[in-house]
Amino acid sequence: MQTGTYRFPPMESVVYGRPFADALKEQVEQIGANSVFVLASGTLNRETDMVQQLRGVLGNRLAGVHARIGSHTPRVDVVEAANAARAAGADLIVTLGGGSVTDAAKMVAFCIANGVSDAAQLDNFRARISADGKTERPPSKPLELRTITIPTTLSAGEYTASAGCTDSARNVKESYSQPLMMPRSVVLDPAASLHTPEWLFLSTGIRAVDHAVEDICSPQCQPLSEGASFYALRLLGRGLTGTKADPLDLEARLDCQLGAWMSMIGSQTGVPKGASHGIGHVLGGTAHVPHGYTSCVMLPHVLRFNEPVNAPRQKLVSEALGHPDRPAADVVAGLIAGLGLPVRLRDVGVKPEQLDRIAELSMHDRWIHTNPRKIDGPPVIRELLDAAW
């Protein structure tokens, strides 16, 4: 008999299909926030009027705008933003941008709660994961500062209570977690994604596909998350191809956004991911590969590696993506290729001399140790990397 526990996340709402400025104004007024600090994408701040729209609806509630967060959320950028938010007396953070900005907001709230004003202090709180998968998280204080997130990509980190933050000096992406890191609300406006470069929108959509696939394929998949992830793949499959065909198709973009949300139901309740995520974290922090691209190049190979132990689960993936009689790895690879996205590590800037270090560091990611097929050392990771090379 199947047993388990589903835990509801500390998120109050997801508002979808409405203009982001109107939805934000309503949310801020309901909360009663009076000192709103905005973290925004630098490109959106410089090249669009989207931040100006936020200024218009926030009025004198706006405490400041910070638009200097680098890719993969460098911790020096995070601490700079935290110090600015602290000085502004922020009582709410609003984000406008992709995954790096989303994670930065979580880290800003974490830094303020734990008195972090210098990047080196984050060493006291990062998760430490040994090569055998044991995870130690130092104690930290609960967060009081919450977030409303307006995402413009599909990597979907806004639905979790953890964040990745990169120590640029060591070229390592580190993990931090606190329950209230999860945003209070998420606003999904497909029009807000129109300025996102095509490669970024589509590749982060494959990241969302990765969430749903590794959820369905997990031995610890739950009934609710399986259903959500199955439908997420339906939405993402048609939404991504629709957006590729017509970048102005807002219905297709909303399908993508809703699919990305549903792909994270398992993550919210603790369903573990697998090696595509585990290796992807290291490819991002160490080789500077964008999040979406890590899934494009690794997910099909991880599916092939795992197929001997979870073929029935993979059939669900094939069915959800509309090809029930084909291997899941081939179906996913076909979707990626059809979107014109890269499929090899060499195509995303990974150097041959980096592969051994990536394999070694991957063993210190928690998702390697929850992969459906056991991975017992760096040589196995290296085989996967070589297959993707």
219 shares its domain with 237: yes
Residue 77 phi/psi, 5° resolution? -70, -40
Residue 1 lies in a domain: no
Task: Look up the CATH number of the domain holding residue 165.
Answer: 3.40.50.1970
- Banded pLDDT at 133 (limits 50, 70, 90): confident
pLDDT of 210 > 90? The answer is yes
Separation of alpha carbons 33 and 58, rounded Å: 10
254 shares its domain with 352: yes
pLDDT of 2 > 90? The answer is no
pLDDT of 11 > 90? The answer is yes
- Banded pLDDT at 354 (limits 50, 70, 90): very high
Q: What is the pLDDT of residue 135?
A: 84
Q: What is the pLDDT of residue 272?
A: 95
Q: Determine which of 1-15, 240-254, 290-304 has the lowest per-residue pLDDT on average.
A: 1-15
181 shares its domain with 226: no
Q: What is the pLDDT of residue 291?
A: 87
Residue 272 lies in a domain: yes
Q: For 185-290, where are the alpha helices, taking DSSP H only?
A: 198-216, 223-245, 250-262, 265-269, 275-287
Q: What is the pLDDT of residue 356?
A: 97
Q: What is the pLDDT of residue 319?
A: 98
Separation of alpha carbons 252 and 205, rounded Å: 12
235 shares its domain with 328: yes
Q: What is the pLDDT of residue 139?
A: 93
Residue 361 lies in a domain: yes
299 shares its domain with 275: yes
- Banded pLDDT at 134 (limits 50, 70, 90): confident
pLDDT in tens, 112-122: 999 999 999 99
Q: What is the pLDDT of residue 118?
A: 96
- Average pLDDT estimate for 358-387: 96
216 shares its domain with 127: no
Q: For the chain, where are the alpha helices, taking DSSP H only?
A: 20-31, 42-47, 50-58, 75-87, 99-113, 198-216, 223-245, 250-262, 265-269, 275-287, 291-320, 328-338, 355-362, 378-388
297 shares its domain with 183: no
Number of domains into which the chain is organized: 2
Residue 3 lies in a domain: no
Pick from 190, 208, 243: which residue ends a domain?
190
Pick from 175, 190, 205: which residue ends a domain?
190
* Residues in contact with 384: Cβ distance below 8 Å, sequence separation at least 6, in sequence order: 275, 279, 298, 301, 302, 305
Separation of alpha carbons 63 and 79, rounded Å: 17
Separation of alpha carbons 358 and 278, rounded Å: 10
Residue 5 lies in a domain: no
Separation of alpha carbons 54 and 72, rounded Å: 24
126 shares its domain with 45: yes
Q: What is the pLDDT of residue 169?
A: 86
366 shares its domain with 271: yes
For the chain, give the percent of residues with pLDDT over 90.
Answer: 90
Q: What is the pLDDT of residue 1?
A: 82
183 shares its domain with 209: no
Task: Look up the CATH number of the domain holding residue 272.
Answer: 1.20.1090.10
Residue 112 lies in a domain: yes
pLDDT in tens, 245-270: 999 999 999 999 999 999 999 999 89
Closest Cα to residue 302, out of 266, 270, 276?
Answer: 276
pLDDT of 367 > 90? The answer is yes
Domain hosting 270: range is 197-388
* Model-wide pTM > 0.85: yes
263 shares its domain with 154: no
23 shares its domain with 85: yes
Q: What is the pLDDT of residue 309?
A: 98
- Average pLDDT estimate for 338-345: 98
- Banded pLDDT at 127 (limits 50, 70, 90): confident
- Average pLDDT estimate for 77-92: 98
Pick from 157, 190, 223: which residue ends a domain?
190
